Structure 1
Amino acid sequence: MPVPRLAPEVAAYYAAQSPTSDPGAYTGLLADLPRDAGALARVVRGLMIHRVEGGQWDIPIADDRMRDDAETRYIDDILALVAARDPAPLTTPRAWSDRFVGICRDFTLLHVALLRHVGIPARLRSGFATYFSDEGFHWDHVATEYWDDERGWLLADAQIADPGRYPYGFDPVDVPRDRFLVAGQAWQAIRAGDADPLRFGLDLEDTPMLGKRFVAGNIRYDLSALNKVETLLWDVWGEGSQVTPETFMDEELSEETCVLYDHAAAVTAGPDPDFAAVRELFTTDDRLRTPRTLRSLAPLRGPATVTLR
């Protein structure tokens, strides 16, 4: 089997920090880190707890941290919180009470930042995971995609880098491609009639957010992350986003909008999307490109207008 090759300009692009992943003044905290994707995933797992894990694992979480931590957009600000709560080296797992209280995006963003810091090309991928449910539901999720010199682009999930709590039977830094579908793949399966759109999204009791509009939104997030603009998962912009969480499933996408996402899915789907096409689509199509100022529908703090760095 031939050894995969990554074009030098692509390697350089994804090995460099973005404004979102740059540790900035906290770069010193990243000294002496391991240089292995699995070890770095375990470092991340030792620093964070997911918002939902408190209830799942009967771990108390302070209300202000539950509300505010996951609104922290940038890695330097995340590291500031981590260091303020416990100044130990990042390789030291924190007590539950000292952990950053985030979501999948935060685990992934920190993992990507650490990988980039040690020179490994890495990026966030937005899509849907089946391993959180035994019923085949595709949960909204964000995972790391990183370059392995022997095998090419691999998927990793730092959130599940604890086999005692997540005994899923696969290596968390080699997530099977059929267990995590990037957003474009999910869209293509739905449009081909091979998947039920209502089996993708967030199946929440109070305000379920499911279906094609949700998957289209994930394509925007994925395209943005492939272009190193790593947003929060409740930021909204672009074609097809004019909806509130309360009315998310009330309105069907127009055929014109669906055709736009057919193209965006074709550009972004798969483990190795064409770099030039990804850059061109993002930089030339105002219907998809992430604007500098956008609307953020923070679920626990309420909507706000935000200007990105």
Structure 2
Amino acid sequence: MSDKLTDMLEYYRTQSELSDPGDFDYLYEGLPDDIPSLIKAVQNVILHFFWVYTDQNYGISLKDIASTGRDPNEEHNLRKISDRLAKFVAIKDEPIIVPRELIERTVGNCRDFSLLLISILRHKGIPARERSGAASYLHPPPKKFFEDHFVCEYWNEEEQKWFLVDAQIDDFQRKAMKVTLDTCDVPRDEFLGAGLSWTKIREGRIAPEQIGVGPFLGEKFARYKLIQDLASINKIEVMAWEHWGIWSSSEELTPELYEMMDKLAQDIANSGDPEIFFKLKELFENDKRFKVPDNYEYNTANFDY
């Protein structure tokens, strides 16, 4: 193993400010080591906000959760894992490995499922990072649409490669969306990282209307995701609605900027290569178009329910 690969993996073994469980690391005691079991543990902590928007899916809704005195929007906007675990314990002071009722779980989204798994893996000394992109399997076939999504990427020491893991998809969602793929080894043509998303749109291999979320489709969406994934690679595990720098600018992309974004997309798609990873790290830390501003305050997303 090269020195640079060793250094890159060591970087991802350590917690970030956002993934650090803080005083709640004791909740990770007794957790299993295999990925399928860890996914089950993560799902015992979090309910996806939109899947409980009404009671038509799991039999409980955000209104039911609010009726207990909790604020679903507050939980949905929790950025740090330590804050989510504090809420988890406040709801019911029991370990993660103890199964709990749906209404006793915190409210989050795909990013939060991913970050909690990342936090647990890093706690176990396993290199892991967040990836921002788009998934094809969130819509039942035959519709082919790549929806905004986050997954976990971890280093498998035995196989000496990175694996994509979707910690959100439980048995109910698998059936509802007719998901047949292995969520412990998501194919990279089913979850498109931000780099590949941008490249495929630019090359006309994906139509603009086939990828995005809400009004953010095609190139506009992929530009947004590129900055998010660059941040995630640098252990700023962004929430789904965070943005700054070149994304927040109203500046239209010039031919020179397109060339730069095309190269950035290529590098992000190949960020498992240590040489490219360290180049992206330097770019993120020093280029004002991409680095987190000194006065940055993350925005929240609140919904009526």
Q: Would you call these one fold, judging by a TM-score over 0.5?
A: yes
Could you tell me how far 1:175 is from its partner in structure 2?
A: 0.8
State how 1:65-144 maps to structure 2 within 5 Å. Answer: 65-133=71-139, 134=141, 135-144=143-152
Letter in 1 for 2:164: L
State how 1:91-240 maps to structure 2 within 5 Å. Answer: 91-133=97-139, 134=141, 135-151=143-159, 152-160=161-169, 162-167=170-175, 168-203=179-214, 208-240=215-247
Deviations 1:208-249 (A, max 9, x none): 222212211111111111111112221220113236xxxxxx
| Residue of structure 1 in register with 2:22 after alignment | 24
123-132 vs 194-203, which deviates more? 194-203
Distance 1:238 1:7, change over 3 A: same
Q: Distance in 2 between matches of 1:257 and 1:93?
A: 50
The runs of 5 or more residues in structure 2 that have no matched partner are none
**TM-score normalized by structure 1?**
0.86
274-283 vs 186-195, which deviates more? 274-283
Moved over 6 A (4+): 3-6
Q: Distance in 2 between matches of 1:227 and 1:94?
A: 34
**TM-score normalized by structure 2?**
0.87
The runs of 5 or more residues in structure 1 that have no matched partner are 244-250, 303-309
Q: Distance in 2 between matches of 1:241 and 1:43?
A: 36
Could you tell me how far 1:38 is from its partner in structure 2?
A: 2.0
| Residue of structure 1 in register with 2:61 after alignment | 60
21-30 vs 106-115, which deviates more? 21-30
Distance 1:4 1:80, change over 3 A: same
**Alpha-carbon contact 2:271-2:277 (below 8 Å) kept:** no
**Alpha-carbon contact 1:240-1:253 (below 8 Å) kept:** no
Q: Distance in 2 between matches of 1:200 and 1:242?
A: 22
| RMSD, matched Cα | 2.3
Deviations 1:87-119 (A, max 9, x none): 111012321111111011100000000010111
Question: SS of 2:171's equivalent?
Answer: coil
Could you tell me how far 1:271 is from its partner in structure 2?
A: 6.6
| Residue of structure 1 in register with 2:284 after alignment | 282
Question: SS of 1:288's equivalent?
Answer: coil
Deviations 1:35-60 (A, max 9, x none): 22221111001111101111351422
Q: Distance in 1 between matches of 2:77 and 2:89?
A: 17
More helix, by proportion = 2
Number of aligned residues: 288
**Alpha-carbon contact 1:239-1:257 (below 8 Å) kept:** no
Letter in 2 for 1:85: I
